[in-house]
Copies of this chain bind each other. A is one copy, B any other.
Amino acid sequence: MSASARPTLALVAERAGVAISTASLAFTANGPISEASRNRVLAAARELDYAGPNPLGRQLRSGRSGIVGVVIGDQLKRSFRDPVAVQVLDGLVSTLGAAGLGVLLIPGIPGVDADSRAVDPLIESAAMDVGVLVWGVRTDDPTLAAFERRGVPVVVGEGREVPGAPIVSIADRRGTADVVRHLTSLGHSAIAEIALPLDHTRRSGPVDAARLAQSDRTPTSNRLAGVRDVVEPVITWEPAGPLVEHGKEAAITILSGDDRPTAIVAHSDLLAAGALLAAQELGLKVPEDVSIAGFDGLDLPWLAPAVLTTVRQPLAEKGAKIGEAVVNLLAGNAPESVELDVELVVGTTTGPPREAV
């Protein structure tokens, strides 16, 4: 009656009348085993309702768990409301899945106090073969240190150099410069900037030089730099978050002021979409009264008939490249970093400023 325990390979072997090692061969396709014994083993397995080797035993022996820990570095809710994150993750999960690897979701910094040295306990105690820091590492990142201590190799998406770890990044500085150059070449000089959040504090408002220097997120810093490669924005606004509503809020303030800029460049499409809604609400024509450009190249059909001018980045491909880097690392190859290219896509939301007409 206490037969609730799952059958083991030993039981199957006994029933089939072979040694455990032979039974093992029947399940791992590659060993030398006769058709006859394989069938006997499989039959015995069926009779005992044995569903294949227990992963835990296999993992201990082989030293591999087949699991990749992915640190998304924030509350799920916040990360996944951002389509950029979702697309990258999608590419990553597909690639890893195809390689037989599973994704363990690691929220990252637990709770609000992202300053503390606390690390998600999963990083310290869950079994994994590789860790992925999708959104880059911060200086002196405790997460990175924890992985290192455990001897878990790491792949970094989008970030500063980490010795021994491959980085998959995107040419976002150049892309940002491209879109700003597009604006200046149309004749704009009073360009406002809506930045991505500079850090985890949900602060919002205009950004001064001191605050600018505090940015510890790589994509944000790169895009700030990209803008400044071409022009000094008349104002840089830091929104409370990365979503549409935050962009709208920022743009309302920017566009309501006395010296209305002739163009807004946002660090992301979601923020730009918010700016578009703001302009609409304020009765401003786009692009006649104000040009608006974004970054990401998302598909935002609900903006129709407007088509956002933006910079398309290969998001799913980025995820896929990270996945490849993981597989590569597990195969024992040397880490290899990649930078993916971006492309300016001109839509209907940018045009020459009114004065220039």
Closest to A83 in B: B81
List chain B residues, Cβ under 8 A from A187.
Answer: none
For residue A144, CB closer than 8 A to chain B, the reply is no
Shortest Cβ distance from residue A186 to the other chain B in the assembled complex, whole angstroms: 27
A104 touches B104 (CB 8 A): yes
Residue-wise, chain A 149-182 has the 8 Å CB interface mask toward B (1 for contact) of 1110000000000000000000000000000000
| A51–B128 CA distance with the chains assembled, in angstroms | 14
In the complex, what residue of chain B is closest to A100 when comparing beta carbons?
B121
Question: Interface residue count for A (Cβ, 8 Å)?
Answer: 55
Within the assembled complex, what's the spacing in Å between the Cα atoms of A11 and B151?
16
**A137 beta carbon closer than 8 Å to chain B:** no
A4 to chain B, nearest CB (A): 9
Which single member of B77, B81, B127, B248 contacts A55 (CB below 8 Å)? B127
Inter-chain CA distance A49–B149, complex, in Å, is 7
Chain A window 30-71, contacts with chain B (Cβ cutoff 8 Å), 1 for yes, 0 for no? 000000000000000000010110011101100101110000
Q: A6-B151, A122-B102, A127-B55 are in contact. Are A86 and B97 (CB under 8 A)?
A: no
Residue of B nearest to A124 (CB): B52
Task: Check if A97 sits within 8 Å of B77, measured CB to CB.
Answer: no
Q: Is A103 an interface residue (CB 8 A)?
A: yes
**Which of the segments A105-113, A193-201, A229-237 contacts the partner chain?**
A105-113
* Residues on B with beta carbons closer than 8 Å to the beta carbon of A106: 102
Contact pick for A248, options B83, B97, B245, B301, CB 8 Å? B301
Whether A86 contacts B76 in the complex (CB less than 8 A), given A56-B60, A124-B52, comes out as yes
Decide if B102 touches A102 in the complex (CB within 8 Å): no
Rounded to whole Å, the gap between the CB of A65 and the closest CB of chain B is: 6
* Complex: chain B residue closest to A76, CB-CB: B90
A189 at the binding interface (Cβ < 8 Å): no
Any B CB within 8 A of the CB of A87: yes
Specify which of B60, B122, B281 is in contact with A60 (CB 8 Å cutoff).
B60
Is the beta-carbon distance between B56 and A76 smaller than 8 angstroms?
A: no
Indicate whether A244 reaches chain B with its CB closer than 8 angstroms. yes
B residues near A94, Cβ cutoff 8 Å: 75-76, 107
Q: Given A65-B56, A81-B86 in contact, is the A245-B301 Cβ separation under 8 Å?
A: yes
> Is B149 within 8 A of A51, CB to CB?
yes
- Structural contact, A51 and B102, CB atoms closer than 8 A: no
Nearest CB of chain B from residue A254's CB, rounded to whole Å: 17
Q: Say whether B55 contacts A126, CB under 8 Å.
A: yes
A23 at the interface (CB under 8 A from B): no
Which residue of chain B has its CB nearest to the CB of A50? B149
- On whether A77 and B86 interact (CB within 8 A), knowing A52-B125, A302-B245, the answer reads yes
CB distance from A79 to the nearest CB of B (A): 9
Contact among B55, B57, B105 for A102, CB-based, below 8 A: B105
Q: A93 an interface residue at 8 Å Cβ cutoff?
A: yes
12 additional contacts (CB under 8 A) given A51-B124, A97-B122: A49-B149, A60-B60, A76-B89, A81-B83, A94-B107, A102-B122, A103-B105, A104-B104, A105-B105, A127-B127, A274-B302, A281-B304
